[in-house]
C-alpha cells in the first residue's frame, strides 16, 4: 500500500506541475489545432490530379481556364510558369508532363520518353480547339525521386539536430542551474552562444557528410554541381538553424514549453520547405510563407547545385538570406539571453 501511495503522490505532483505550467499546457492544446489547420490549407482540394502541365505566362498572373478547352480538363494540375528555361528543364527531367504556351498557334513541349507526357499530349490534341498546334520535343533523363528527396532528408535531419540539439539542451542547462554557475565566470552571453553554434556546426557537418557519402555511394545519387558550394550551403544552413534554436531557448525555462515551441517551428518547415514534395503549385501566400523559412533556402540551393549544376551566382541570394537570418537570430538571442530562470 505504501508503494502505491508513493506512486500516487508522484503521479499527482507531476500532473499538477504540468497543469500549472500554463505555457506548456497552452502549446499542447494550440499546436495540434494549428498543424491541422495548416495542413488543411496547404492541401486544400480533392487531391486527384493525375498529370502536371506547365502553362507559360507572365509572372504573378492566374491561369485563365476559359482561354483554351484543354485548360478545363479534369484531373490535370495546371501550373503557371514564367521562366521558359526552367520550365523546359522540368519537362526534360519528367518533372512536368507537358509545357504549353497558349496563342495562335498553340505551342507545346513534351519529352518523347515520358509515358505520362504521351497520354496528356493525346488529351491536348483532342481538346477540340481550332487553333493550330505546334509540337517541340525536349529530351533528357528523368530525375529519380531519391535524387530529389535526398537533400530534403539531409536538411530535415540537420534541422532537428540543430534546433533540438541546441535549444532543448540550453533550456535544460538553465533549469538545472548549469547556466547560473557559468554566470559567475567572465563568460558573456554572446561568447556562450558562439561556442554553442561552433560545437553543433562541427557535429552537423560530420554527420551530414557521413550520411551523404554513404547514400551517394549506395544509391548513385545525382551530383551535377560543386561539392565546395554544397558544403558552403550546408554551413550557412546549419548556422542559421542553430541560431534559431538558440533564439527559442534564450529565455525559456520549461523543457516542455521548449519542446512545444521547437515543434511549432519544425513542423511548418517539414511541410512548407519542400522536404518531401514540391510546393510549386501551392498558392502565393503559402509560397511567401515558405520563403521566410531558413530550411526552404537550404533545400532550394542544395537541389539547384545537386540536380541542376548551379553555380554560386545562381544561389547567392539563398546564401544571403541565410546569412541575414543567422545574424538576426544571434543578435536577438544574445540580447535577450537569460542565465537563470525568470
- Summarised one tens digit per residue, pLDDT across range 273-289 is 888 877 766 667 777 88
Instruction: Work out the percent of the chain whose per-residue pLDDT is above 70.
Output: 82
Question: What are φ and ψ of residue 111, in 5° steps?
Answer: -90, 115
Q: Kindly report the CA angle at 155 between 37 and 84, in degrees rounded to 5?
A: 80
193-202, 209-218, 306-315, range with the lowest pLDDT: 193-202
Q: What is the per-residue pLDDT for 184?
A: 75
Radius of gyration over alpha carbons of the chain, in Å?
A: 25
pLDDT at 285: 79
If you average pLDDT over residues 113-142, what whole number do you get? Answer: 81
Of 217, 214, 239, 221, which Cα lies nearest the Cα of 303? 221
Give 139's pLDDT tier (boundaries 50, 70, 90): confident
How many CA atoms lie within 13 Å of 305's alpha carbon, on the beta-carbon side? 24
pLDDT band per the 50, 70, 90 thresholds, residue 26? low
Q: How confident is the model at residue 235 (pLDDT cuts 50, 70, 90)?
A: very high
The domain 51-137 having CATH identifier 3.90.25: the answer here is no
Cell 502541365 maps to which residue?
53
Query: Residue 111 has what pLDDT?
Result: 87
Residue 17 above 80 pLDDT?
Answer: no
pLDDT at 322 exceeding the cut of 90: yes
pLDDT digits (tens, 9 = 90+) for 159-206: 888 888 777 777 777 777 777 777 777 777 777 777 777 777 888 888
Q: Is 29 in contact with 76 (CB distance < 8 Å)? A: no
Higher pLDDT, 124 or 259: 124
The single-letter DSSP state of residue 144 is P
Q: Where are the domains of the chain?
A: 2-42, 51-137, 145-336
Residue 254 to residue 259: CA distance in whole angstroms? 9
Q: Which residues contact 25 (CB under 8 A, 6 or more apart)?
A: 18, 19
pLDDT at site 89:
83
pTM of full prediction above 0.85: no
Q: How far apart are CA 338 and CA 150, in angstroms?
A: 38
The mean pLDDT of 49-59, rounded to a whole number, is: 80
Q: Sign of the CA dihedral 316, 191, 208, 227?
A: positive
Q: What is d(CA 170, CA 259) in angstroms, rounded to the nearest whole number? A: 12
The residue that leads in pLDDT, 261 or 235, is 235
Residue 128 has pLDDT above 80, yes or no: no
Average pLDDT over residues 88-106: 83
pLDDT of 227 reads 92
Residue where the block lists cell 526552367? 86
* pLDDT at residue 301, rounded to an integer: 93
Amino acid at each position: 500500500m505504501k508503494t502505491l501511495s508513493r506512486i500516487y503522490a508522484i503521479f499527482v505532483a507531476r500532473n499538477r506541475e504540468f497543469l500549472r505550467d500554463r505555457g506548456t499546457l497552452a502549446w499542447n492544446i494550440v499546436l495540434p489545432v494549428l498543424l491541422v489547420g495548416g495542413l488543411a490549407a496547404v492541401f486544400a482540394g480533392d487531391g486527384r490530379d493525375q498529370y502536371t502541365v506547365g502553362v507559360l505566362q507572365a509572372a504573378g498572373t492566374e491561369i485563365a481556364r476559359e482561354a483554351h478547352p484543354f485548360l478545363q480538363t479534369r484531373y490535370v494540375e495546371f501550373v503557371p510558369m514564367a521562366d521558359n528555361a526552367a520550365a523546359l528543364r522540368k519537362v526534360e527531367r519528367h518533372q512536368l508532363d507537358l509545357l504549353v504556351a497558349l496563342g495562335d498557334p498553340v505551342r507545346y513541349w513534351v519529352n518523347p520518353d515520358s509515358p505520362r507526357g504521351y497520354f496528356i499530349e493525346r488529351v491536348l490534341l483532342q481538346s477540340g480547339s481550332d487553333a493550330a498546334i505546334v509540337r517541340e520535343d525536349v529530351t533528357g533523363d528523368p530525375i529519380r525521386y531519391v535524387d530529389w528527396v535526398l537533400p530534403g532528408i539531409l536538411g530535415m535531419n540537420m534541422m532537428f539536430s540543430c534546433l533540438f540539439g541546441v535549444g532543448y539542451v540550453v533550456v535544460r542547462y538553465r533549469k538545472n542551474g548549469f547556466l547560473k554557475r557559468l554566470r559567475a565566470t567572465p563568460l558573456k552571453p554572446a561568447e556562450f552562444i558562439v561556442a554553442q553554434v561552433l560545437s553543433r556546426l562541427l557535429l552537423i557537418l560530420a554527420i551530414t557528410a557521413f550520411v551523404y557519402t554513404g547514400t551517394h555511394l549506395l544509391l548513385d545519387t545525382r551530383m551535377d554541381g560543386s561539392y565546395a558550394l554544397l558544403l558552403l550551403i550546408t554551413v550557412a544552413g546549419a548556422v542559421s538553424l542553430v541560431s534559431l534554436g538558440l533564439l527559442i531557448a534564450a529565455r525559456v525555462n520549461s523543457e516542455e514549453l521548449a519542446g512545444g515551441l521547437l515543434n511549432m517551428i519544425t513542423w511548418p518547415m517539414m511541410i512548407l520547405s519542400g522536404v518531401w514534395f514540391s510546393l510549386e503549385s501551392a498558392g502565393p501566400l503559402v509560397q511567401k510563407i515558405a520563403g521566410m523559412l531558413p530550411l526552404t533556402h537550404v533545400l532550394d540551393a542544395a537541389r539547384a547545385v545537386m540536380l541542376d549544376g548551379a553555380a554560386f551566382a545562381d544561389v547567392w541570394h539563398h546564401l544571403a538570406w541565410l546569412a541575414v537570418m543567422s545574424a538576426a537570430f544571434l543578435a536577438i538571442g544574445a540580447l535577450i539571453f537569460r542565465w537563470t530562470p525568470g
